[in-house]
Amino acid sequence: MRLLTALPLALFFLSPAIAPPVFAENGSVQVDEMSSRPGWSYRKTSKSYAQLIGDLKAAVKANKFGIVTEAGPTEVARGRGVRIPGNRVIGVFNNVYAVRVLDLSTPAMIEAPIRFYVTENADGSADLSYKLPSTVFAPYLAEAGPELDVICKELDQIFATIARTAAQ
């Protein structure tokens, strides 16, 4: 059963059809690739990759959300003898919001969990970025109605709090 769960994630991260993040010559994620994206939040930190992941997990829990998914190519690549900067996607959500969204739009739940993205820089620091929940759920606003917009505003605030707490 565990193999069936891990296999899709492994295929996702090993597939050449999936474009990886763009790295600068020094191996760091190019800041413009993350910081200038409309509808994204980006926080540069001086924390190490491992510390930022730990602090993000603690901030998620402190805000009564749960980690639903976690994946990254770094460790698998290292196992193949390939060294790439730390790269972790952590999917976060809360069942109360899941039920509220489902009451408005079943298709919108394909977007949950909403993902935080931790990327390591060449100097050992790591950065945190994520798509704003309002951006993620925007395609469903017309069908779901104004209550989904209310949920998006709440989620935007909570995710900003989680990111701010993790990055401090």
* Boundaries of every domain in the chain: 33-167
With a cut of 90, say whether residue 147 has pLDDT above it. yes
Q: Which residues, at least 6 apart from 125, have a Cβ–Cβ distance to it below 8 Å?
A: 44, 45, 46, 47, 48, 49
Residue 101 pLDDT grade (very low, low, confident, very high; cuts 50, 70, 90):
very high
Question: What span, in angstroms and rounded, lies between the C-alpha atoms of 119 and 48?
Answer: 10
Amino acid of residue 87: N
CATH (residue range 33-167)? 3.30.310.70
Phi and psi angles of residue 30, each rounded to the nearest 5 degrees, phi first: -70, 120
Which H or E run contains 69? strand 66-71
Q: How many residues does the chain have?
A: 168
Q: What is the pLDDT of residue 38?
A: 80
With a cut of 60, say whether residue 9 has pLDDT above it. no
Q: What percent of the chain has pLDDT over 70?
A: 79
